[in-house]
């Protein structure tokens, strides 16, 4: 099987590495890719948001399967274009990707499916903002009502900060979504979904805030770990049975059956799991940790999902132990990141059992590796338990140099110290 992976982040780097380990995968291509991915796959240029361009490239490469990493192409219908050309594609149709692309659609589906989620209101007129804020908070949750890569969200007990963020979004012409605050530890549960067939992967936890101890602004994700020692097995089962299956069934009922990776982001509160958001693709940085523990051949799982035969595949197998991803970010991320700095110590032979360095915002300039984005690298540590996986990730990071870069030192630490309970 010849596979083309669309995207350029550390998530796609992890997908490429896992696909390379699958004996049924004979060739892996990536587009646009990045400097790290280029060491493991032939990288090609493409506009990932153009269905015509992705389809033409898949034809040229004689790809049997196209795997679409990011949400933007999915929301724009790139998977529809690839499938219309007769090529298998891992990723939902534009209609099903609305579960991520339209917060109103997602809420509507959840209500119809009887799934618990935050109460919400959309504000599109500055004159309505104050009265709406009075109906929420504290704590206030203020979101950009569109795709914002996780950075359009402010969660705060400070009414002024909530108001400022809402007013700024409205000034930019973006409607504002206010939500009730969902308390409790967060879980990211990725499920392969093919219509009503739902196959969960290992639960993971992201760390959204930029600073240690969950301080500072929200980011696209600064690190993640899997599995979650504090999550009871029956809660994980309840997420599949009471959240993901009903939503998958509701999408089928509406004629927008989901095919691909459905990502449920939840808060585990006093009354059980409640949905913060659905995403229509693998999450970043959780994927880097989850795939590090996958023993089953990834190509087979993705192809079966894409081809409508997921119900015939044996459940994924996982290696024992734990994995931790730590994101190395550029100076000033999540603001406008400093780019163009030389990175040293990131070389990865791909042979270490304990740590890997995956690339996100990197580029080669005159043969040197330089930073080219906010989240630059994902360092993945694997170990017999979470403490060992953390130690392996941080030991590997110590050898990497990038001027001004920063990373969180506490990824997975609260779980190691048993400070999380549900
Ligand atoms: P989103 O972009 O919707 O994924 O939100 C980013 C992050 O903001 C989430 O991972 C949560 O940490 C936080 N968040 C979003 N919505 C809520 C909510 N209703 N209650 C509590 N936290 C939230
Ligand atoms: N881990 C957050 C996301 O992928 O949206």
Tokens 């035969």 — which residue? 309
Q: Which of 11, 275, 279, 375 for mutating ligand 2's site (highest number of atoms within 8 Å of CB)?
A: 279
Q: Is the distance from the beta carbon of residue 277 to the nearest atom of ligand 2 less than 6 Å?
A: no
Q: Which of 220, 289, 378 for mutating ligand 2's site (highest number of atoms within 8 Å of CB)?
A: 220
User: Worst-scoring range by mean pLDDT, 11-25, 135-149, 189-203, 226-240?
Assistant: 135-149
Q: What number is the average pLDDT over the span 161-167?
A: 96
pLDDT of residue 257: 98
> Phi-psi region for residue 398, left (φ > 0), alpha (ψ -120 to 50) or beta?
alpha
pLDDT of residue 150: 53
- More confident of the two residues 174 and 244: 244
Q: Is the distance from the beta carbon of residue 283 to the nearest atom of ligand 2 less than 6 Å?
A: yes
pLDDT of residue 148: 61
Chain-centroid distance of CA 59 in Å reads 28
pLDDT of residue 107: 93
Instruction: Name which residue sits closest to atom 3 of ligand 2, judged by CA.
Output: 283
Give residue-wise pLDDT tens across range 247-282.
Answer: 999 999 999 999 999 999 999 999 999 999 999 999
| Confidence band, pLDDT 50/70/90 cuts, at residue 46 | very high
Give residue-wise pLDDT tens across range 319-370.
Answer: 999 999 999 999 999 999 999 999 999 999 888 989 999 999 999 999 999 9
Sheet containing 197-200: give its strands across. 197-200, 186-194, 259-269, 272-279
Q: Is the distance from the beta carbon of residue 279 to the nearest atom of ligand 2 less than 6 Å?
A: yes
Distance CA(30)–CA(392), nearest Å, equals 28
Mean pLDDT, rounded, of the chain: 96
pLDDT of residue 416: 98
Ligand 1 centroid to residue 37 C-alpha, Å: 30
Instruction: Name which residue sits closest to atom 16 of ligand 1, judged by CA.
Output: 276
Q: What number is the average pLDDT over the span 67-93?
A: 98
Q: Is the distance from the beta carbon of residue 274 to the nearest atom of ligand 1 less than 6 Å?
A: no
What number does the ligand 2 atom closest to the CA of 281 have? 4
| Confidence band, pLDDT 50/70/90 cuts, at residue 103 | confident
Give residue-wise pLDDT tens across range 109-133.
Answer: 999 999 999 999 999 999 999 999 9
pLDDT of residue 56: 98
Distance CA(42)–CA(29), nearest Å, equals 5
Ligand nearest to the CA of 118: 1
Q: Which of 97, 284, 288 for mutating ligand 2's site (highest number of atoms within 8 Å of CB)?
A: 284
pLDDT of residue 151: 55
Q: Which of 221, 277, 334 for mutating ligand 2's site (highest number of atoms within 8 Å of CB)?
A: 221
Ligand 2 centroid to residue 366 C-alpha, Å: 32
Q: Is the distance from the beta carbon of residue 9 to the nearest atom of ligand 2 less than 6 Å?
A: no
Ligand nearest to the CA of 179: 1
Ligand 2 centroid to residue 62 C-alpha, Å: 31
């Amino acid at each position: 099987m010849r596979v083309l992976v669309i995207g350029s982040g550390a998530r796609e780097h992890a997908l490429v590495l896992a696909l390379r380990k699958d004996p049924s995968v004979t060739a892996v291509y990536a587009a646009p890719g990045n400097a790290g991915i280029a060491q493991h796959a032939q990288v090609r240029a493409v506009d990932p948001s153009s269905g015509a361009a992705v389809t033409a490239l898949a034809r040229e490469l004689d790809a049997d399967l196209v795997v679409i990493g990011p949400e933007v192409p999915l929301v724009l219908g790139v998977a529809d274009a690839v499938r219309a050309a007769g090529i298998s594609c891992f990723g939902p149709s534009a209609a099903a990707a609305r579960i991520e692309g339209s917060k109103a659609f997602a809420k509507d589906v959840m209500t119809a499916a009887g799934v618990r989620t935050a109460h919400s209101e959309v504000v599109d007129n500055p004159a309505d903002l104050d009265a709406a804020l009075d109906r929420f908070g504290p704590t206030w949750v203020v979101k950009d009502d569109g795709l914002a890569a996780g950075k359009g969200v402010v969660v705060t007990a400070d009414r002024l900060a909530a108001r400022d963020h809402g007013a700024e979004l409205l000034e930019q012409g973006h409607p504002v979504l206010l939500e009730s605050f969902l308390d409790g530890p967060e879980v990211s549960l990725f499920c392969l979904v093919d219509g009503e067939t739902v196959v969960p992967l290992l639960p993971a936890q992201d760390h959204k805030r930029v600073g240690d101890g969950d301080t500072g602004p929200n980011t696209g994700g600064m690190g993640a770990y899997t599995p979650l020692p504090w999550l009871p097995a029956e809660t994980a089962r309840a997420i599949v049975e009471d959240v993901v299956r009903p939503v998958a069934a509701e999408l089928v009922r509406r004629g927008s059956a989901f095919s691909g990776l459905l990502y449920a982001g939840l808060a585990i509160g006093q009354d059980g799991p409640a949905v913060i958001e659905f995403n229509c693709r693998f999450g970043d940085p959780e994927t880097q940790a989850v795939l590090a523990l996958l023993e089953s051949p990834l190509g087979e799982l993705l192809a079966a999902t894409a081809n409508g035969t997921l119900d015939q595949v044996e459940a994924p197998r996982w290696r024992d132990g734990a994995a931790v991803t730590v994101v190395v970010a550029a100076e000033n991320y999540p603001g406008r990141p400093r780019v163009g700095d030389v990175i040293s110590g990131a070389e990865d032979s791909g042979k270490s059992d304990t740590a890997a360095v995956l690339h996100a915002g990197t580029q080669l300039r005159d043969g040197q590796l330089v930073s080219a984005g906010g989240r630059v690298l994902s360092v993945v540590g694997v170990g017999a338990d979470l403490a060992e996986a953390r130690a392996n990730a941080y030991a590997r990071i110590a050898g990497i140099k990038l001027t001004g870069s920063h990373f969180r030192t506490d990824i997975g630490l609260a779980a190691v110290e048993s400070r999380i309970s549900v």
